[in-house]
Amino acid sequence: MEEEFKVKWHAPEFEHRERNVSWYWISMIVAAAIIAFAVWQKNFLFGLFIVIAEMLVIVWGNRTPRIIPFLLTDKGVRIEPGKLHLFSEMESFSVDEALHDEEWDTVIFHFHGTFKLPLIIKLPKEKREEVRTHVKKTLKETDYEPSFLDSLEKIIGF
């Protein structure tokens, strides 16, 4: 039986933050300092890890997000082209009504279990109440509390 969709939207796969040249220089300076510490400690494997990690930070930091279709169904949230996150695996949801962003809010789905990371999806502001209404039928809504890692991510701009 085909599942019935409730709400459909398209959103970027992650929040894109513009980075200037100084962001990349600071990143390389911090990596060089950590590599110097690794050499001083004679931990060359850690130094190699930092070199690889810095290359990934530079490449991923320059990436622009793809636009992905999302589909809210009666069973869960489908991320096209086919990944379905079931409501039965989720504990609650939160909506971060971003004041700094005029176009997007963020909906966070919290899963059962301690070690499962939340599913964080961008949501157009005009779809917020429609999504909230449909999801509240299945999951409880909790207040959005940014974690330490969320705050750190915003500070460093990644």
pLDDT, average across residues 34-61: 94
Long-range Cβ contacts of 127-130 (<8 Å, 24+ apart): 127/7, 127/9, 128/95, 128/97, 130/6, 130/7
Phi and psi dihedrals of 2, rounded to 5?
-75, 135
Of 65, 67, 71, nearest in space to 11 by CA: 67
Residue 99 clears pLDDT 60, i.e. is over it: no
77 compared with 17, residue with greater pLDDT: 77
DSSP code, position 125: G
pLDDT, average across residues 88-101: 79
pLDDT-derived band at 128, boundaries 50, 70, 90? confident
Domain 5-14+67-143: give its CATH code: 2.30.29.30
Structure confidence at residue 34 (pLDDT): 96
Residue 12 clears pLDDT 80, i.e. is over it: yes
| Domain extent listing, the chain | 5-14+67-143, 21-61
Measured between alpha carbons, how far is 38 from 81 in angstroms, rounded to an integer?
A: 43
Q: For residue 23, list its beta bridge partners.
A: none
What is the reported pTM? Answer: 0.72
Residue 36 clears pLDDT 50, i.e. is over it: yes
Residue 48 clears pLDDT 90, i.e. is over it: yes
Residue 154 clears pLDDT 90, i.e. is over it: no
Residue 64 clears pLDDT 90, i.e. is over it: no
